[in-house]
Chains A and B, each alone.
Chain A
Amino acid sequence: MYHLHPQLFLKPEMKPTRDGFGKGLLDLGSTNKDVVVLTADVSDSVRVAEFGKQFPDRYFQCGVSEQNMMAAACGFAQEGKIPFLSSYATFSPGRSWDQLRVSGCYSNVPVKVAGAHAGISVGPDGATHQALEDIASIRVLPNITVVVPCDVEETRKATVAIAALPGPVYMRFAREKTPIITIAKTPFKIGRAEVVQSGRNVTIVACGSLLYEALVAARALARRHISAEVINCHTIKPLDVVTLLKSFKKTRAVVTVEEHQITGGLGGAISELAGQKFPVPIERVGMRDMFGESGEADELLIKYRMKAPDVVRAAQNVLKRKK
């Protein structure tokens, strides 16, 4: 049973996913003495400042130095600590990819990289600050787990869950308030994709806050007598191959939805899986090989076609190609 927030389709309660990260860290702070937090001059916006107040001896302000922060965090990890490091995703892992690759992933140490302000919904800051390539650039690294939670509650759960994983993890979250989709008892397990709603005609695989748009789209499709199965694929690496293939075999048509370039991220991962294991027509909703621009979050999601009507259109298109 996949529990959805009771108000989801009435008037969704809104909170930013980054709040869940901050809350998860506070939970960890009091339950796990090995957890340390590093940040690079964006402590408030990535929601780690409160951890710093409550656990000052386990909090390291690195200043604007993302490369040093990443490798230093790996040093903590080698010494048995569980370091969470956080900056905007464009800067870290954007500027610290090599440090993550070598000192994090090749050494295979439990460094937890939190990329904040990911996606185009960062808004007015513009393209420089909109991480739309991070899933792609990190997903190719061996040993790492990549997690993109869908809302504030799932981000809290993911934060706590990734602390227990023995290896490196990349988790991304966003700036703006987004609908709260899940509740405390909604199932969440790293590496397990969840079928949020079952359907027969088309599978919509989403990650991050756009899962909401996928769910709204599924309702619109239902009104047109199209039965959509919606999957919350919060773990992009390792993919839950079993759940995904089972759905693909049932519906034989797939739409992917993400706030990321359609190449290399969730859409890329799903295409690779389907291409090798069970070829089906796929439509990908996301950024189409271009940079964003300044604007309000919703304006941008509309302009760059990542809203529910775009998911509906993608589903209709993929159904035309279905055999």
Chain B
Amino acid sequence: MNAHELALTANSIRQDVIKALVEAKSGHSAGPLGLADVVTALYFEIADIDPKYPWKETRDRIVLSCGHYCPVLYSALAHRGYFPVSELLTLRKLNSRLQGHPHLRCVPGVENTGGPLGQGVSLALGMALALKLKGNPAYVFCLSSDGEQQEGEVWEAYNMAAKYKVDNLTYIVDYNHIQIDGPIEEVMPLEPLVDKYRAFNLNVMETDGNNMAEVVKTLRKAKEHKGTPTMIVAHTTPGKGVSFMEKDYRWHGKPPNVEEAARALQELEAAREKI
């Protein structure tokens, strides 16, 4: 897909995130909307995956360590053809496959159980090491959130990823500067984040996570890099595409109500015209 098509797809994915969340009456809004462009680039352009053979041995693995972002994961998988888009409306409901935080293989394409922060960062490392051991050319992408970087476990994982020169692995951190209790800078500052990653001997790149052309270019470059694990710091706008959600930490952990959802969908539809 070209950047234009990808941006349109990201818009559709965002609209279904809103629809799923309003129906679920709980869940996270801002992060999933902000990361939708990166997720779209991965599932529709960068990762070597095929929904017809969701567990093909050589598929690229996409690990969602920040499990609370799952509305955007589910929406992307549905749009990519892994399961019906209509099923998104069962998010967080009894007997649904779409759990409030993802469960390994709950639907085709879900590569990990996620929720307790930090675990996916280590899990992806173990997967990447195992793939190398098997001589499997698959690549591992791991999405994590900025608040997640406050977990000590992630730094343990970066240490080990660098030690073993795990170069079939790219971490993408969604640097949107909000967490549940407030702005990152107030709750627990991360700066100088990029310097910290460099100090951990990672191949560090930065990107505007809401500029589709730039996201695709950065991800492509990351996948080609050899010798060290890559860390992409994706600067994103939380709540991207919905004016009243953007950059407001209060939208980290709540869904829109019916009126808010209608406004959000209206705004996204209007934005779609301009893509």
Contacts and interface: CB of A to CB of B under 8 A. Distances in A.
Contact of A68 (B104, B128, B130, B156): B156
Nearest to A66: B156
B104 A107 contact: yes
Given A36-B133, A79-B130, A102-B116, A72 B152 contact: no
B123 interface: yes
Nearest to B136: A79
Name the residue in B112, B153, B157 with the highest tally of chain A Cβ atoms < 10 Å from its Cβ: B153
B112 A72 contact: no
Contacts of A60: 129, 160, 164
Interface in B125-141: 125-131, 133-134
B156 A74 contact: no
Contact of A75 (B118, B124, B156, B164): B124
Interface in B103-122: 103-104, 111-113, 115-116, 118-122
Given A58-B133, A72-B157, A102-B113, A78 B152 contact: no
Given A68-B160, A81-B133, A75 B126 contact: yes
Nearest to A73: B126
Contact of A72 (B104, B125, B131): B125
B103 A74 contact: no
Contact of B123 (A36, A57, A75, A80): A75
Nearest to B131: A79
A165 interface: no
B201 interface: no
B122 A67 contact: yes
Contacts of B112: 78, 103, 107
A106 B113 CA distance: 8
Interface string A17-46: 000000000000000000010000000000
Contacts of A65: 153, 156-157, 159-160
Given A67-B118, A68-B153, 10 more contacts: A36-B133, A67-B152, A72-B129, A73-B126, A75-B128, A78-B104, A78-B112, A78-B126, A102-B116, A103-B123
8 contacts: A67-B118, A68-B122, A68-B125, A72-B126, A99-B122, A102-B116, A106-B103, A107-B112
Interface of B: 103-104, 111-113, 115-116, 118-131, 133-134, 152-153, 156-157, 159-160, 163-164
- A-B pairs, top 7 by smallest CB distance, nearest first, are A75-B126, A71-B122, A72-B126, A68-B156, A65-B156, A79-B130, A75-B127
